[in-house]
């Protein structure tokens, strides 16, 4: 007798719907916010099929759509969060009508701008954020102060400021005018507000921070507030190699930058 398929673990399924990342979905389950066919879900390894009814906070969740990814030019002045108790404007409230629910791949703080990747698939977001991908995040940074190029170059060996250890950062001086300078800064894994804190450790104040690329995905010519979907073929080609799969995605070979 053929055994009926068990379906997919509910935390992963919720991640693919864009409701939350898998980690956040597990937290929702712990908080008793998720129900399956009217019954509370008590374990993230619970399986769900297309025939099941899943509810979060009493609202039905639709089955996952095909995986999609967008490049978004985040302006400064927006926070990258769905719930903002202080009432500040958010990235998600600024998106065009008709957009599905999406989550961000990583974050940019209130005063930072530039490339932000958005996806309707929380599992994809988790995979693209993994440090093991080795994807470089590149920034253009305007600083105020006297740039010591030797200390800037030394950041490539890692650094410690105010008791916090930071990984290697590649930073170079692009131009200088008076006390203002533009730098190109690249890192593979960043802590919260890392660039601002490291630059402060070099007695440099960051007055502007623009992310220009995240792995193979480029800001390109996107204007502030502009959104553009990454074609499915390019998304499949750029997916980092790994044993995990989500939906119909497949890993691919060498990354090729997108415009």
CA-to-CA distance for 182 and 140, rounded, in angstroms?
7
Helix (H, G, I), strand (E, B) or coil at 123: helix
With the C-alpha atoms ordered 219, 223, 225, 227, is the resulting torsion angle positive or negative? negative
CB 25 within 8 A of CB 11: yes
Q: From the candidates 65, 109, 170, 174, which is the catalytic residue? A: 109
The neighbouring-strand residues paired with 119 are 69, 103
Q: Which of 178, 185, 177 is nearest to 202 (CA)?
A: 185
92: tokens are 């998600």
Q: Could you tell me whether strands 137-144 and 205-214 are parallel, antiparallel, or unpaired per DSSP bridges? A: antiparallel
Q: In sequence order, what E strands does the chain have?
A: 8-9, 34-36, 39-40, 47-48, 54-56, 59-60, 69-74, 103-105, 113-119, 137-144, 159-161, 164-166, 170-177, 180-187, 205-214, 217-218, 227-229
Closest C-alpha among 215, 226, 217, 200 to residue 259: 217
Look up 57 and say whether it is catalytic.
Answer: no
Measure the CA–CA gap between 63 and 76, rounded to whole angstroms. 34
Chain CA centroid to CA 140, Å: 18
- Give catalytic residue positions: 109
């Amino acid at each position: 007798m053929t055994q009926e398929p068990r379906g997919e673990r509910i935390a992963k399924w919720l991640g693919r719907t864009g409701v939350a990342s898998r980690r956040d979905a597990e937290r929702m389950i712990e908080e008793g916010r998720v129900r399956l066919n009217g019954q509370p879900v008590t374990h993230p390894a619970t399986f769900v099929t297309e025939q099941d009814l899943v509810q979060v906070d009493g609202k039905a969740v639709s089955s996952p759509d095909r995986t999609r990814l967008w490049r978004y030019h985040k302006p400064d002045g927006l926070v990258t969060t769905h719930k903002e108790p202080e009432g500040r404007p958010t990235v998600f409230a600024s998106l065009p009508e008709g957009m599905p629910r999406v989550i961000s791949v990583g974050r940019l703080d209130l005063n930072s701008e530039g490339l932000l990747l958005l996806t309707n698939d929380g599992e994809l977001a988790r995979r693209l954020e993994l440090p093991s991908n080795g994807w470089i995040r590149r920034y253009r940074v305007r600083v105020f102060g006297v740039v010591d190029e030797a200390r800037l170059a030394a950041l490539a060996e890692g650094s410690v400021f105010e008791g916090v250890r930071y990984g290697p950062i590649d930073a170079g001086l692009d131009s200088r005018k008076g006390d203002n300078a533009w730098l190109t800064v690249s890192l593979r894994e960043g802590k919260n507000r890392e660039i601002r804190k490291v630059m402060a450790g070099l007695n440099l104040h960051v007055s502007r921070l623009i992310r220009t690329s995240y792995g193979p995905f480029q800001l390109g010519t996107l204007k502030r507030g502009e959104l553009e979907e990454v074609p499915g073929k390019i998304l499949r080609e750029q997916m980092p190699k790994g044993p995990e799969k989500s939906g119909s995605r497949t890993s691919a070979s060498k990354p090729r930058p997108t415009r």
